[in-house]
């Protein structure tokens, strides 16, 4: 199964992850 | 052979010009055929026709009755296991797929009657600390891909070099839809210095909004739109009519929430800047991005051993859901690299709404082994049911405008449990 997130964000939004990273619920994906 | 290979003299001579010209023609022809295969086929309305595209083994998998296999898989895994066998069976499963049994609740493995129940296990309170960032992971899994969406082309990259259209993933926004309706009624809803708000003629104080000493809005007044009534059904087609074309909405209903508290609404409202739905300058939607903002996407893959419930990735309001019945291909990274339009072909539930920066969408996508998607606040949703799937792109839609008269949708706080994937 997969979850796709699509969202609008300001230009200064940055992902804090990399492709292939293992993540857990509540872990930071991105921030402003 | 060795003697012939070593002792035969090599004699070089020029090819005739015609052979060289023929070779160039053949190369050009091959390149043209490859490029034409990559061209997007569109219907009479100019929308991309979603078809199964990929190497031969993808077509072989596509010929299998995946939906029936998925339901059979679900049935087998719902069978009750002998109590004595459960600890051994689940420990073996956990060992094979890397599950952490220390964090599950309840921890007694004998309390899970079937593998399906164990698969949909809960976690202990506090097992997943929540980061204060604006966006957190909605699930345990692996990041497959992420990035920005070019708003000129509106295409999302599945993997490097393979893209699909955002409209095909989320559905096409139509005039008369709930988001458009809220925007249309904007003049009737005003906020005065954030001290009180008038929503469709009903006055709310800030205390009512944030759950202070005042009575809740549910107690003090009722929303102007009665429950279970579609607020604007002028654009809703006959729910029993068959889908005619790509992107057609084939049903519309308003879902009654199980329970919502004003305090819960307020916690979301405060995180969103208090005035969502009341004083919005821009209609939310993937095609209504505010000036200076960008559309982003992220794809998280849940492996068989991962915790399979999903949570809210931020403070947001879900305005509607669109259920796309489709195929149930595997969504493993191996398949994602080979099958074009994988996330558009598969059965999925697009939850669409807004957060404090504008549009927000979350799309749980089913797969062969996990074809059933549950959404806690939507008891009417049924996925992976028997029957031939409608053409790709058609969907059923439900709106959550009655869930909260303040927020005009289902409010969610960061990391709040939303639902999950079940076996089969």
Q: Which of A2, A19, A25 sits opposite B146 (nearest CB)?
A: A19
Backbone angles phi, psi at B397, to 5 degrees: -125, 140
Q: Which of A18, A25, A31 sits opposite B143 (nearest CB)?
A: A18
pLDDT the model gives residue A22: 92
Contact A17 B414 (CB under 8 A): no
User: Chain B contacts of A24, Cβ < 8 Å?
Assistant: 128, 137, 140
The separation between CA B283 and the C-alpha centre of its own chain, rounded to angstroms, equals 21
Enumerate residues 6+ apart whose C-beta is below 8 A from B365. A1, A2, A3, A4, B331, B343, B346, B347, B348
User: Chain B contacts of A1, Cβ < 8 Å?
Assistant: 301-302, 308, 331, 364-367, 370, 421
| A12 vs B183: which has the higher pLDDT | A12
Joined tokens for residue B30: 């091959």
Question: Per residue in B284-323, pLDDT tens?
Answer: 566 778 888 889 999 999 998 899 999 999 999 898 888 9
Question: Per residue in B54-112, pLDDT tens?
Answer: 777 778 888 888 888 889 999 999 999 999 999 999 999 999 998 889 999 898 999 99
DSSP B52-93: -BS-HHHHHHHTS-HHHHHHHHHHHHHSPPPTTTHHHHHHHH
ipTM score of complex: 0.96
Contact B135 A1 (CB under 8 A): no
pLDDT the model gives residue B158: 79
Identify residues of A whose CB sits under 8 angstroms from chain B CBs.
1-11, 13, 15-32
Closest-CA distance, B61 to chain A, in angstroms, reads 17
pLDDT the model gives residue B228: 33
Contact B294 A17 (CB under 8 A): no
Distance CA B26, CA B34 (A): 12
Interface A-B: count of C-beta contacts within 8 A:
179
| B337 vs B88: which has the higher pLDDT | B88
């Amino acid at each position: 199964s997969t979850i796709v997130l699509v969202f609008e964000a300001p230009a200064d939004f940055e992902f804090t992850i990399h492709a292939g990273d293992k993540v857990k619920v509540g872990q930071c994906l991105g921030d402003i | 052979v060795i003697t012939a290979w070593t002792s035969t003299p090599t004699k070089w001579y020029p090819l005739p010009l015609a052979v060289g010209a023929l070779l160039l023609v053949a190369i050009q022809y091959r390149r043209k055929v490859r490029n034409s295969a990559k061209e997007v086929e569109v219907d009479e309305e100019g929308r991309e026709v979603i078809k199964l595209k990929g190497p031969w083994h993808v077509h072989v998998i596509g010929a299998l009755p995946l939906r029936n296999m998925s339901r059979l898989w679900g049935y087998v895994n719902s069978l009750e296991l002998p109590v004595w066998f459960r600890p051994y069976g689940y420990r073996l499963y956990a060992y094979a797929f890397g599950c952490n049994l220390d964090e599950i609740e309840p921890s007694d493995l004998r309390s899970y009657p079937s593998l399906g129940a164990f698969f949909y296990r809960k976690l202990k309170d506090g097992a997943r600390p929540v980061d204060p960032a604006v966006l957190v992971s909605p699930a345990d899994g692996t990041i497959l891909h992420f990035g920005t969406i070019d708003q000129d082309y509106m295409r999302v990259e599945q993997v490097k070099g393979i893209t699909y259209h955002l409209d095909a993933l989320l559905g096409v926004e139509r005039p008369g839809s709930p988001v458009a309706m809220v925007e249309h009624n904007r003049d009737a809803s005003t906020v005065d210095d954030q001290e009180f708000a008038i929503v469709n003629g009903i006055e709310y104080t800030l205390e009512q909004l944030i759950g202070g000493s005042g009575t809740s809005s549910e107690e003090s007044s009722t929303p102007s739109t009665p429950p279970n009534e579609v607020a604007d059904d002028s654009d809703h087609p006959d729910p029993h009519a068959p889908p005619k074309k790509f992107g057609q909405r084939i049903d519309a209903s308003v879902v009654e929430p199980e329970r919502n508290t004003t305090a819960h609404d307020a916690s979301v409202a405060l995180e969103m800047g208090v005035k969502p739905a009341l004083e919005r300058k821009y209609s939310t939607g993937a095609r209504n991005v505010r000036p200076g903002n960008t559309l982003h996407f992220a794809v998280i893959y849940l492996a068989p051993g991962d915790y399979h419930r999903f949570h809210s990735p931020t403070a947001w309001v879900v305005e509607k859901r669109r259920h796309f019945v489709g195929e149930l291909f595997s969504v493993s990274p191996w398949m994602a690299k080979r099958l074009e339009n994988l996330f558009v072909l598969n059965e999925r539930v697009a939850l669409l709404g807004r957060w404090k920066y504008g549009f927000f969408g979350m799309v749980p996508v089913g797969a062969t082994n996990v074809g059933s998607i549950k959404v806690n606040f939507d008891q009417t949703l049924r996925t992976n049911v028997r029957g031939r799937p409608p053409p790709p792109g058609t969907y059923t839609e439900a709106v959550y405008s009655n869930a909260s008269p303040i927020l005009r949708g289902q409010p969610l706080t960061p990391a709040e449990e939303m639902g999950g994937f079940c076996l089969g």
